[in-house]
Chain A
Amino acid sequence: MTDDSLRVLIADDSGTDRLILKRLLKRIGHEVLEAADGIEAVAIFQREQPDIVLLDALMPQMDGMEAARHIKALSGGRMVPLIFLTSLSEAEDLARCLEAGGDDFLTKPYNRVIIEAKIHAFGRMQRMHDTLSRQRDMIHDRNQHLLEEQTIAKRVFDNVAHTGCLDAPNIRYHASPLSIFNGDVLFASPRPDGGMLVFLGDFTGHGLPAAIGAMPVAEIFYGMASKGFGAADILKEINRKLGRILPTGRFCCGAMAEADFKLGQLKVWNGGLPELWLIGSQGEPVACSSRFLPLGILPPERFDSSMETLQARDGDYLLMMTDGLLERQNGEGELFGEAGVRRTFRERREAGHPFEALLEGVEAFSEGARESDDLTLFCLEVSGDTGLAALPESATSSALAGPSEWRCDYEIREQTLGEFSPLPLLLHICMEVPGLRARSGEIYTLLSEIYNNALEHGILALPSEWKHSPDGFEQYYAERQRRLKTVGDHFIRFSLHHTRKPWGGQLRVICEDSGPGFDFSRHPVLGGGERHADWPRYAGRGLFLLKRLTKDITFHGKGNRVEIVYDWKRPVAESDDGAATDPGKQRQ
């Protein structure tokens, strides 16, 4: 038998008609089963599972109509064509055959050509149906499998995409996934100096391709943030990495904010996300619109990670969002849009939290309408007290052994002063000392205070009192950028020296710059001279901070060389070789 061969059941009480039909079907290669009445037909159908049934409409015992109903019920999900054999000619009778589940008719006298054509057509239809059913089952199985995999992958993705210190008391966020994965990622990390870094990204597309870029971005972000790198450096690295791994046409719209709560300063960068908003308790909200191409498009040498610097007070809010929020629609199909955001802020009551206001605003606007895109909204409250440890727990458990007696000199000069921050590197060296990692926040603060002082006041000669007014603040940072470009042959030289002490250790840092120096003997805090309202160096909180943190601070030479001595105590539970003895570690 050929592939096209079918098993055909003929049910007819007339032996003559059965004989003719059987012969016709056998001639074209089909297998024939015979029944002389309806009951026999149903029984054979059940036992033999034929492919096609030819039923005489009028038969003794059980007529064709009733047999048809039984057979249809028995065939379940299979497609079994049912063809009535009839010499009925009344339209009403034919209609009853169809109602009983018939798919077609063959009228007597039998016509060989028509019979062959009909059987052939139904055979083909049935094979198509079988193929479709098989494919449907296969797709169903595959889909089931895929969903299971995605559920596992989503758990991994969620661990990566919304991590860090997002549970900090000054952070609020809302993320609503459209698909099982969305392309939105939100990261936040404390900085070693007590500040915070935030990244909000929106990868093109949805699903796995959109989610996959999140992994390397998370790794870069958290890795570099904990080492003290600033936003600009991290952005460069993310852009480089995404440019390398994402195919052309795929990219990540993103924004990063670096908050320094002590200075009341926010540095922001926006490449392709909707406007970021800084909302103060007084004054108009400030928008920072996207000024750069999204991440992963430009080659490293053309990528610009210049940060915009904003002044912020305690209690101000920074809002970041993905375009899912702007693309929410109301019943009429209108978009919420930037206009909606502005309107919400305008109508917000003084006391209301802008995060709540915006979420409520967009919900009220799009009431009943379906979310059309991933929507992430993030809000950071500028607050001196974040309630956070400077570094996540996990980072403190390493370095059970390492160097404790060492010194190192490091000098950066000329153009590099404007392009590179030595702080992550210096911090990294210090963190190799067993036990010192727990102090990374303090160490970073010490290093950054004396470095920034040397750079901004010692070399660039920027007056710090500019920072006391909002206008001056902007002027200060604009001027800083400008002067860095023409820094000339200046240098800053660090000399770090660590020694072990019975109580822990001592870190001495000498920082020398090539600037003109200052008369430290007359400094109000240092020398006890008369108060000077606009003292050129160490006028702000910086010096008080240094004095509070260190055992000793002295100025040398013409005032361009500062030396600090920082003593640190090993926690009681730690033994001499630096290995921690807390019970959790001993079990390992």
Chain B
Amino acid sequence: MTDKPHLDEEALAELQDVMEDEFEVLIQTYVSDSRERIAALKRALEHDDADAFAKTAHSFKGSCINIGAPRLGELCLVAEQAGKSEDLTGADAIIQGIEEEFRTVSEMLGELLVR
């Protein structure tokens, strides 16, 4: 579906440089933020609320881009577009893809913190 990397190493290096000792807090914030976003996407789908689905995906996309997770960002964009076109038929599969990619990203970020 996308060939973007899971993590943008360069962007993360710069973030690490900028955030200094707050980098760990940032990663933790991102991870917990993202869990909430995924939950919100699921809620929107349950209520068949395409607008909320699009908005949540949009915000999620913003923080993914900022943190340096381009592939996850790309998946959020797909979700956002689906919401905007008010067609949530493939939304289940999209959420699954997002959850899968998120697991990968958080593992890799966790490794980054341990290093």
Chain B residues closer than 8 Å to A19, beta-carbon distance: 19, 22, 25-26, 29
Chain A residues closer than 8 Å to B67, beta-carbon distance: 16
Evaluate whether A16 and B19 lie within 8 angstroms (CB atoms) in the complex, with A58-B58, A109-B11, A109-B68 already known.
no
Evaluate whether A14 and B18 lie within 8 angstroms (CB atoms) in the complex, with A58-B55, A109-B11 already known.
no
Q: Is B107 an interface residue, CB under 8 A from the partner?
A: no
Task: Check A112 against B65 for contact (C-beta < 8 Å).
Answer: no
Q: Is B97 an interface residue, CB under 8 A from the partner?
A: no
Q: Mark B10-42, 1 if CB is under 8 A from A, else 0.
A: 010011001100100110011001000000000
Q: Mark A465-489, 1 if CB is under 8 A from B, else 0.
A: 0000000000000000000000000
Q: How far is it, in angstroms, between the C-alpha of A545 and the C-alpha of B113 when the chains are bound? A: 125
Among A13, A15, A109, contact of B65 (Cβ-Cβ < 8 Å) = A109
Which residues of B approach A to under 8 Å, CB–CB? 11, 14-15, 18-19, 22, 25-26, 29-30, 33, 55, 58-59, 61-63, 65-68
Give the Cβ gap from B20 to chain A, nearest Cβ, in Å: 8
Task: Check B62 against A14 for contact (C-beta < 8 Å).
Answer: yes
Q: How far is it, in angstroms, between the C-alpha of A17 and the C-alpha of B66 when the chains are bound? A: 7
Give the Cβ gap from B40 to chain A, nearest Cβ, in Å: 10
Give the Cβ gap from A111 to chain B, nearest Cβ, in Å: 9
Q: How far is it, in angstroms, between the C-alpha of A19 and the C-alpha of B19 when the chains are bound? A: 9
The chain A residue with its CB closest to the CB of B37 is A14
Q: Is A587 an interface residue, CB under 8 A from the partner?
A: no
Among B25, B29, B33, B62, contact of A87 (Cβ-Cβ < 8 Å) = B62
Q: Is A573 an interface residue, CB under 8 A from the partner?
A: no
Q: How far is it, in angstroms, between the C-alpha of A87 and the C-alpha of B74 when the chains are bound? A: 12
The chain A residue with its CB closest to the CB of B25 is A19
Q: How far is it, in angstroms, between the C-alpha of A58 and the C-alpha of B37 when the chains are bound? A: 14
Q: Is A24 an interface residue, CB under 8 A from the partner?
A: yes
Q: Which 9 A-B pairs have the closest CB atoms?
A: A16-B63, A87-B62, A16-B30, A14-B63, A109-B65, A108-B62, A15-B29, A108-B65, A109-B66
Residue among A17, A56, A86, A109 having the largest count of chain B Cβ atoms under 10 Å = A109
Q: How far is it, in angstroms, between the C-alpha of A588 and the C-alpha of B97 when the chains are bound? A: 109
Chain A residues closer than 8 Å to B58, beta-carbon distance: 58, 87
Evaluate whether A17 and B63 lie within 8 angstroms (CB atoms) in the complex, with A23-B18, A109-B68, A112-B18 already known.
yes
Instruction: Give 19 A-B contacts (CB < 8 Å), ordered by A residue.
Output: A14-B33, A14-B59, A14-B62, A14-B63, A15-B33, A16-B67, A17-B66, A19-B25, A19-B26, A23-B19, A27-B18, A58-B55, A86-B62, A87-B65, A108-B63, A108-B66, A109-B65, A109-B68, A112-B18
Chain A residues closer than 8 Å to B59, beta-carbon distance: 13-14, 56, 58
Q: A109-B66, A112-B18 are in contact. List 11 more A-B contacts (CB 8 A).
A: A15-B33, A16-B26, A17-B63, A19-B22, A20-B19, A56-B59, A56-B62, A58-B59, A86-B62, A87-B65, A109-B65
Q: Is A535 an interface residue, CB under 8 A from the partner?
A: no
Q: Mark A84-96, 1 if CB is under 8 A from B, else 0.
A: 0011000000000
Q: Is the interface of B mostly helix, strand, loop or mixed?
A: helix
The chain A residue with its CB closest to the CB of B18 is A23
Q: Is A110 an interface residue, CB under 8 A from the partner?
A: yes
Task: Check B29 against A24 for contact (C-beta < 8 Å).
Answer: no
The chain A residue with its CB closest to the CB of B77 is A87
Q: How far is it, in angstroms, between the C-alpha of A534 and the C-alpha of B68 when the chains are bound? A: 125
Which residues of A approach B to under 8 Å, CB–CB? 13-17, 19-20, 23-24, 27, 56, 58, 86-87, 108-110, 112
Q: How far is it, in angstroms, between the C-alpha of A112 and the C-alpha of B13 when the chains are bound? A: 13
Task: Check B22 against A23 for contact (C-beta < 8 Å).
Answer: yes
Q: How far is it, in angstroms, between the C-alpha of A540 and the C-alpha of B62 when the chains are bound? A: 113
Task: Check A16 against B33 for contact (C-beta < 8 Å).
Answer: yes
Give the Cβ gap from B6 to chain A, nearest Cβ, in Å: 16
Chain A residues closer than 8 Å to B25, beta-carbon distance: 19
Chain B residues closer than 8 Å to A24, beta-carbon distance: 18
Q: How far is it, in angstroms, between the C-alpha of A23 and the C-alpha of B67 when the chains are bound? A: 13
Chain A residues closer than 8 Å to B68, beta-carbon distance: 109
Give the Cβ gap from B78 to chain A, nearest Cβ, in Å: 14
Q: How far is it, in angstroms, between the C-alpha of A16 and the C-alpha of B58 when the chains are bound? A: 14
The chain A residue with its CB closest to the CB of B11 is A109
Among B11, B29, B55, contact of A16 (Cβ-Cβ < 8 Å) = B29
Evaluate whether A20 and B26 lie within 8 angstroms (CB atoms) in the complex, with A14-B59, A58-B58 already known.
yes
Q: How far is it, in angstroms, between the C-alpha of A112 and the C-alpha of B17 when the chains are bound? A: 11
Task: Check B62 against A112 for contact (C-beta < 8 Å).
Answer: no
Q: How far is it, in angstroms, between the C-alpha of A204 and the C-alpha of B22 when the chains are bound? A: 74
Q: How far is it, in angstroms, between the C-alpha of A58 and the C-alpha of B61 when the chains are bound? A: 12
Chain A residues closer than 8 Å to B11, beta-carbon distance: 109
Chain A residues closer than 8 Å to B14, beta-carbon distance: 112
Give the Cβ gap from A535 to chain B, nearest Cβ, in Å: 119
Chain B residues closer than 8 Å to A27, beta-carbon distance: 18
Task: Check B55 against A20 for contact (C-beta < 8 Å).
Answer: no
Q: How far is it, in angstroms, between the C-alpha of A86 and the C-alpha of B80 when the chains are bound? A: 14
Residue among A16, A56, A110 having the largest count of chain B Cβ atoms under 10 Å = A16
Residue among A19, A23, A27 having the largest count of chain B Cβ atoms under 10 Å = A19
Give the Cβ gap from B11 to chain A, nearest Cβ, in Å: 6
Q: How far is it, in angstroms, between the C-alpha of A385 and the C-alpha of B53 when the chains are bound? A: 103
Give the Cβ gap from B22 to chain A, nearest Cβ, in Å: 6
Q: How far is it, in angstroms, between the C-alpha of A16 and the C-alpha of B15 when the chains are bound? A: 12
Q: How far is it, in angstroms, between the C-alpha of A30 and the C-alpha of B55 when the chains are bound? A: 30
Give the Cβ gap from A87 to chain B, nearest Cβ, in Å: 4
The chain A residue with its CB closest to the CB of B58 is A58
